Amino acid sequence: MEFGKWWVEDKEQKVRCKLCPHHCLISPGKSGICNVRKNNDGQLYSLVYGHPAALNVDPIEKKPLYHFYPGSRALSIGTVGCNLTCKFCQNWQLARGEFRKQRQAMSPEEIVKLARKKSCDSIAFTYNEPTIFGEYLLDISKIAHQQDIKTIMVTNGFITEEAVNDIYPNIDAANVDIKFFTDELYREYTGGRLQAILDAILAMQKHGTFIEITNLIIPELNDSPKEFKKFINWIKENLGEETPLHLSAFHPAYKMKDHPSTSKSQLDTLYEIAKEQGLKYIYEGNVRSDEHNNTYCPACGNLLIERSYFSVTKNNIKVGHCECGKGINVVDQH
């Protein structure tokens, strides 16, 4: 158990957590909605600091990040717990906080040492919602940066501006999963709130974090062209038309085991809408899609990055440019 950041004292030894917009008021001996931030004698502690539950080396494409150091390796780390309660969660065993899944304790220094040993270019905070282990990832990130290792958040974006301002100056790239573009669906299916997430993304961007967006497409819920067009326009107007977008297929899971999967043709329809609306880099995930897994130059149409599943098989980008001269929104060491 580690003393927490982002909280204030309240009456009768209660504490108010300020890490995510739930702002949980937590009584002594109890935990917040995420299940991993506990009031111990009137003070807030993190139950997951130093306790990874999942730790693997992944291609960065698996996060998914397609425009940030393509072809590199990310040491990926997650704990248990989550601040949203998505009915369609694909990772619910971790998210719902089964503490027996925790591995041996590892300090931030040991995590960074492992990343170096495994020749990883970055450390990705992923699997469950990393915001809820903010203290741990912040300490890891500061040490990683001292050793020239990049840091990545794979996040639902449900975080307060105060916490963004503390954490994101230390984060190089983020994939933010915007799940719906109506507040009603957000509240009903995740317990989150749309506007808080959109505000947080803009706050992340102010700190120079490179952003890619994921949208899990769930048939009959968020596949309406009308809602989708609004979503695309928000991306264009706020993050820019060159923001990479990953359309991800839903497969039945957790409390939505009887809901139909997303078909390839449903993803293709939305892909075409996003393209017509002017987005330049759109990808399909969670489904076999060779043609929509590569990166093409938006100016001349040249193949820039060829991928096979999560492997980069060709990278024709030269110092951030296509051979036609168009600048490509890719962060790379090459």
Residues that bind ligand SF4 (CB under 6 A): 17, 19-20, 22-24, 32-34, 37, 83, 132
Handedness of CA 232, 233, 235, 240 (dihedral sign): positive
Q: Cβ 160 to ligand SF4, closest distance in Å?
A: 8
Name the residue number minimizing CB distance to ligand SF4: 32
Q: Give the residue with the Cβ less far from ligand SF4, 24 or 305.
A: 24
CB 9 within 8 A of CB 42: yes
The residue (of 26 and 221) whose beta carbon lies closer to ligand SF4 is 26
Tokens of 2: 């580690």
CB 330 within 8 A of CB 313: no
> In angstroms, what is the minimal distance from the CB of 256 to ligand SF4?
22
The smaller minimum CB distance to ligand SF4, of residues 50 and 70, is found at 50
Q: Rounded to the nearest whole angstrom, what is the least distance from the CB of residue 142 to ligand SF4 in the complex?
A: 20
Q: Least Å distance between CB 324 and ligand SF4? A: 46
CB-nearer residue toward ligand SF4: 86 or 274: 86
In angstroms, the CA 303 to CA 314 distance is: 9
Query: Strand pairing of 210-217 and 245-249?
Result: parallel
Closest approach of ligand SF4 to the CB of residue 91, in Å: 17
How far, in Å, CA of 24 to CA of 34, rounded? 9
Shorter beta-carbon distance to ligand SF4: residue 19 or 111: 19
Tokens for 271, please give them: 């892909």
Closest contact distance (angstroms) between CB of 21 and ligand SF4 is 7
Measured CA to CA, the distance from residue 209 to residue 36 in angstroms comes to 26
Side-chain half-sphere exposure of 281, counting CA atoms within 13 A: 23
Which CB, 4 or 64, lies closer to ligand SF4? 4
Which residue from 66, 145, 104 is spatially nearest to 137, judged by alpha carbons? 145
Q: Which two tokens stand for residue 210?
A: 């490179």
- Which CB atom, from 120 or from 203, has the smaller least distance to ligand SF4? 203
Q: Nearest distance from residue 332's CB to ligand SF4, in Å?
A: 34
Cβ proximity of 263 and 251 under 8 Å: no
CB-based contacts of 113, cutoff 8 Å, min separation 6: none
